[in-house]
Amino acid sequence: MKKYLYILVSGFISGLLIAIGATVYLSMLAGGQGEYLAKILGSLFFGVGLYGIIIFDTWLYTGKVGNTLNEKPSYLLDLLICVLGNLIGVVLLSLLISVTRYGESLQAQASILVAQKQNDSWYSILFLSFMCGIMIYIACKGHAICPNPIGKIILCFLAVSVFILCGFEHVVANASYYAYAHFFDLKAFGYFALMALGNGLGAISFNGLLKLISHLKVSDRA
C-alpha cells in the first residue's frame, strides 16, 4: 500500500510540473510575440516541467512506460496509479491557475489547441501520441545515459521542444490544455485513452528496438 501511495503522490507532483510547463507554453502563445517565435520559446520553456521531473525523480507516465519490457506484469498497475496521480495534479493546478487574472487569456489559447485535437481523426491522434512517446523516452533515457552534464540538459529540453513543435500528443500535457479550456466530453475521454495508448506504444517500441540492436551488436561481436 505504501508503494502505491508513493507512486500516486509522486505522480501528482509530476502532474503539477507538467501543468507549469503547459502554462508557460500557453502564456508565450498569448503574449503577443510572433507566432513561430512564441511556439519555439514556449516549447523550450515547457522543458522545465520534464527536467524537474527527471531531477526530482518523480513518476510521469510517459517517462516510466518505456520500462514496461524490463518489469513484471504488476508494473501495469503501477503505471495506472501513476497516470491517475499525473492527471489529478495537472488538472487541479490548471483549474486553479485558470481562476486567476491570467485565466481568460490562457483559456483562449487552450481552446484553440483543444479544438484542433477534437477535430482530428482517431488514427492521427494515436500516431502523433506514438511519436510523442518516442520523444519523451529519448529525453528521459538520454538524460540518464548521456555522460556529459550539459548534454543531459540539452537533450531533455530539445526533445520536449521537438515533440511540441511537431504537434505530437502528450496525454498529461493535453489534460492541462483541456482543463484550461474547460472542455471535457466523451470524445475527449476517448482521445485521452488513445493518447495514453499511443504514448505507451511509442516508448515501449523504441525501447524494444534499442534492445534489439544491442542484442545484434553483441551477437555480431561473438
* Per-residue pLDDT tens digits for 48-107: 999 999 999 999 999 999 999 999 999 999 999 999 999 999 999 999 999 999 999 999
More confident residue, 200 or 30: 200
CATH of the domain at 110: 1.20.1080.10
Mean pLDDT of all residues in the chain? 95
d(CA 6, CA 85): 10
Q: Is 167 left (phi over 0), alpha (psi -120 to 50) or beta?
A: left
Q: HEC profile for the chain?
A: CHHHHHHHHHHHHHHHHHHHHHHHHHHHHCCCCCHHHHHHHHHHHHHHHHHHHHHHCCCCHHHHHHHHHHCCCCHHHHHHHHHHHHHHHHHHHHHHHHCCCCHHHHHHHHHHHHHHHHCCCHHHHHHHHHHHHHHHHHHHHHHHHCCCHHHHHHHHHHHHHHHHHCCCCCHHHHHHHHHHHCCCCHHHHHHHHHHHHHHHHHHHHHHHHHHHHHHHHHHHHC
User: Containing domain of residue 22, as a range?
Assistant: 2-221
d(CA 148, CA 4): 34
The fraction of the chain above a pLDDT of 90, given in percent, is: 91
> Alpha carbon of 16 to those of 69, 88, 184, 207: distances in Å?
27, 9, 19, 27
pLDDT at 222: 58
- Inform me whether the pLDDT recorded for 128 exceeds 70: yes
d(CA 123, CA 125): 5
d(CA 180, CA 108): 9
pTM higher than 0.85 for the full model? yes
- Inform me whether the pLDDT recorded for 186 exceeds 70: yes
pLDDT at 108: 96
99-122 b/e with 16+ CB inside 10 Å = b?
eeeebeebbebbbebbeebeeeee
pLDDT at 217: 85
pLDDT at 1: 87
* Per-residue pLDDT tens digits for 18-62: 999 999 999 999 976 667 888 999 999 999 999 999 999 999 999
Q: How many domains does the chain divide into?
A: 1
pLDDT at 215: 86
